[in-house]
Amino acid sequence: MPLMPTHPDTVIDALLDTTQEITNLDDPMSALRGLLRRLCHLLGAELAVLGVQDAPRRVVRIAVGHGLREPSVIGLEMPLGVGLLGRTCATGRSLALPAYTDAPMIEQSAELREASSSERLMSAIGAPIGARGRTVAALLVGDREPRAWGDDDVRLVERFATLASMIVRHYFNDRGEATGEAPGSWHRFINARRWDAIHGGRATSFWEALERRLDCGVTFLTADGGIDGRRLPPAAVRDAWKLSSGFDRAVLSGETTAIEFDGQRCWLHRVDAHDQLHGVLSIWKEPGTTPVNQYQVADAAFVTSLHLTIDRLETTAAQRWELLLLEQLLHGETLGGEDSGERLLRYGLRRDETCTVVRIDAQPAALQSVQRVIARELRYQRPLLAIHGKHLCLLLPGPLDPPRLQRLHDALVGEGLEAFIAAEECEGGPLRIQGAHELARSLNGSQRALGRESGVATTTTFGITGLLYSAANSSLIGRIVRARLGPMLDYDAARGTELERTAWTFLAGGRRSADTAEQLHIHQNTLRQRLERIDDLLGREWREAPHSYEMFLALEARRLTDAAD
């Protein structure tokens, strides 16, 4: 029976679990069965099978299944184009059948009719499994009653077919026969690379390991114009137009493109992850060395795609985990369970030790870019970092460190990103960060009120404004400000005038009437009338020292707190 719609997080978790199994393969067939089992669970389907193509004989053989009633179905063969599996392999396109037995486009053999009857297959989805530019296998998931499959169901089956291709392309030969060898050399290579990168702290170790494996230089040209791995050879930099042309050909054709720079050969291959272009892998060989073949290039592009897929899935899962933990801390929820201390410790935080709450405000469209830069700058520390609402929240162990905050801001500026960074120390530990987070929010509001476009603010580095802001957050100063400005504020509220703004502009501009009128875009006679009205409400001494200084501080406190709120 179909289940309720599956939450996207559940799909991500299942894909992540399956991908992690694939990258540690010791028994590929068990991994395939696990993949089919998870797919059936997510779809609420009752059975699933995977058929592998025997290219020379032009038949499709069922290699593995889940939920089958008859074990004899495993090993069943069908001609290419016959049955849903055979048709999917022949066309290379997915197909959903709400009524399998009545589908006129599906040709059935006697053996297939008997098998589908014994399994009582009534509805199904077929998805192709591709490798090296051709369809090598197909995935079928089915139900034992008629079912209207949705587009989301088809996309989910296709995503699992992509994962299955990681096994099929290496474990089965062109005749659809299992080689008996786990495809683990590439996959274990990735897993070892990730372990070294995480625990050895070397961000480029994946590309270095790939170079050692291929015995050549590797540069990854990202789709957004970046470069990862080894720097481009000087010859490629000089002939950038040729490299750009090769990049475009590799992207559009989906095939290996070879170009040459002063005798140095380069092979380019498109790299996709989750049906999105991530970039082009370029492999470089010195003149006089043995060239790489198209299969080596395709395998290297595949393993790069797998590397990007794993990193993206794990990053998504980690971000969801970090956001949940931050939500609990910011709402003052008690962290239950014996592992709560370990949850904090993995980010270097301890329950009763001082930590620093950092809030980063930027344009919504730039938040993810800001997050990537901050994560890169702090990659060896692994901070608790997540997008929370419309800002980025960062929790760091230890006391406030203004120079480190400035370095983070400089890194953002270097990437062309504008952001307000505010931080406050929390001596009570990570379980008591609500007040510090609220103060950081207000500090960023104060930065905006001061006309900044970006910057770093703490109560210790904000200068006199920081002292004023700290005072403005106390109930005592609030009462004092009210006593000083109350009549004028009430007058503005009742009549919609701008006496408060006029008074602040007048004092901030050195009490120069002409400059004040110009800044407010009003006539000097209008300004004179407003100032006289303020005199009536507050007394004429508000304009003269030392009263003018106290009035300006009161107005500044109002301005900062209003902007923060």
Which pLDDT band, with edges at 50, 70 and 90, does 44 fall under? very high
Q: What is the mean pLDDT of the chain?
A: 79
Which pLDDT band, with edges at 50, 70 and 90, does 66 fall under? very high
Radius of gyration, CA atoms only, the chain: 32
The whole-number pLDDT of residue 137 equals: 93
Report helix angle 463-472 to 434-449, nearest 10. 120
The whole-number pLDDT of residue 203 equals: 42
The whole-number pLDDT of residue 326 equals: 81
- Residue 150 and residue 252 in one domain: no
- Give the span between the Cα atoms of 138 and 132, in whole angstroms: 15
- Residue 345 and residue 438 in one domain: yes
- Residue 189 and residue 167 in one domain: no
- Give the span between the Cα atoms of 509 and 392, in whole angstroms: 36
- Give the span between the Cα atoms of 66 and 45, in whole angstroms: 10
How far, CA to CA in Å, does 46 sit from each of 9, 368, 510?
Answer: 22, 39, 80
Which uninterrupted H or E stretch holds 104? none
- Give the span between the Cα atoms of 521 and 48, in whole angstroms: 74
Show the CA angle centred on residue 377, arms to residues 373 and 382, nearest 5°: 105
Of the candidates 434, 359, 344, 357, the residue with the CA atom closest to the CA atom of residue 399: 357
The whole-number pLDDT of residue 380 equals: 62
**Residue 191: pLDDT over 50:** no
- Residue 85 and residue 196 in one domain: no
Q: Is residue 137 in some structural domain?
A: yes
Q: Is residue 1 in some structural domain?
A: no
Q: Is residue 489 in some structural domain?
A: yes
End position of a domain, from candidates 458, 490, 512: 458
- Residue 281 and residue 373 in one domain: no
Number of domains in the chain: 4
Q: Is residue 301 in some structural domain?
A: yes
- Residue 109 and residue 15 in one domain: yes
With H, G, I as helix, E, B as strand and everything else as coil, classify residue 502. helix
The whole-number pLDDT of residue 294 equals: 80
- Give the span between the Cα atoms of 486 and 551, in whole angstroms: 12
The whole-number pLDDT of residue 336 equals: 60
- Residue 436 and residue 336 in one domain: yes
**88-92, 115-119, 475-479: lowest mean pLDDT where?**
475-479
- Residue 92 and residue 118 in one domain: yes
* Max avg pLDDT among 30-34, 164-168, 266-270, 313-317: 266-270
Residue 284 is part of a domain; what is its CATH number?
A: 3.30.450.240
How far, CA to CA in Å, does 423 sit from each of 358, 385, 410?
Answer: 4, 14, 16
How far, CA to CA in Å, does 400 sit from each of 157, 419, 425, 440, 469?
Answer: 49, 19, 5, 12, 18
Q: Which position has the higher pLDDT, 17 or 494?
A: 494
Residue 84 is part of a domain; what is its CATH number?
A: 3.30.450.40
| Side chain identity at residue 366, one-letter code | A
- Give the span between the Cα atoms of 550 and 503, in whole angstroms: 12
- Residue 481 and residue 364 in one domain: no
pLDDT in tens, 360-384: 999 888 888 888 888 888 866 667 8
pLDDT in tens, 241-260: 788 888 888 888 888 899 98
How far, CA to CA in Å, does 21 sit from each of 54, 164, 275?
Answer: 26, 11, 21
Asked if residues 548 and 542 have their Cβ atoms less than 8 Å apart, the reply is yes
- Give the span between the Cα atoms of 156 and 11, in whole angstroms: 8
Q: Which pair of structure tokens corresponds to residue 455? A: 């910057």
- Give the span between the Cα atoms of 21 and 160, in whole angstroms: 13
Q: Is the pTM of this model over 0.95?
A: no
Percent of the chain residues past pLDDT 90, beyond the cut: 22
Q: Is residue 317 in some structural domain?
A: no
Q: Is residue 178 in some structural domain?
A: no
Q: Is the dihedral of CA 191, 195, 200, 203 positive or negative?
A: positive
- Give the span between the Cα atoms of 116 and 482, in whole angstroms: 82
End position of a domain, from candidates 458, 486, 503: 458
The whole-number pLDDT of residue 179 equals: 62
pLDDT in tens, 531-552: 999 999 988 888 887 778 778 8
Of the candidates 73, 40, 455, 62, the residue with the CA atom closest to the CA atom of residue 465: 455
**Residue 321: pLDDT over 90:** no
Q: Which position has the higher pLDDT, 399 or 275?
A: 399
Q: Is residue 304 in some structural domain?
A: yes
The whole-number pLDDT of residue 121 equals: 92
* Max avg pLDDT among 111-125, 201-215, 463-477: 111-125
Which positions ≥6 away from 171 have C-beta within 8 Å? 28, 178, 179, 181, 182, 183
Which pLDDT band, with edges at 50, 70 and 90, does 198 fall under? very low
pLDDT in tens, 202-234: 444 678 878 888 888 888 887 766 677 777 788
**Residue 448: pLDDT over 80:** no
The whole-number pLDDT of residue 175 equals: 75
Start-to-end CA span in the chain (Å): 52
Q: How far is CA 469 from the centre of its chain?
A: 35
The whole-number pLDDT of residue 20 equals: 47
- Residue 189 and residue 165 in one domain: no
Hey, which residues does 356 pair with through a beta bridge? Answer: 396, 425
The whole-number pLDDT of residue 553 equals: 76
- Give the span between the Cα atoms of 277 and 280, in whole angstroms: 8
- Residue range of the domain that includes 129: 8-171
Q: Is residue 180 in some structural domain?
A: no
**261-270, 420-429, 445-454, 521-530: lowest mean pLDDT where?**
445-454
The whole-number pLDDT of residue 328 equals: 82
Mean pLDDT computed over 498-506: 90
- Residue 436 and residue 510 in one domain: no
Residue 373 is part of a domain; what is its CATH number?
A: 3.30.70.270
Of the candidates 460, 450, 381, the residue with the CA atom closest to the CA atom of residue 420: 450
- Residue 36 and residue 167 in one domain: yes
Mean pLDDT computed over 32-37: 87
The whole-number pLDDT of residue 228 equals: 75
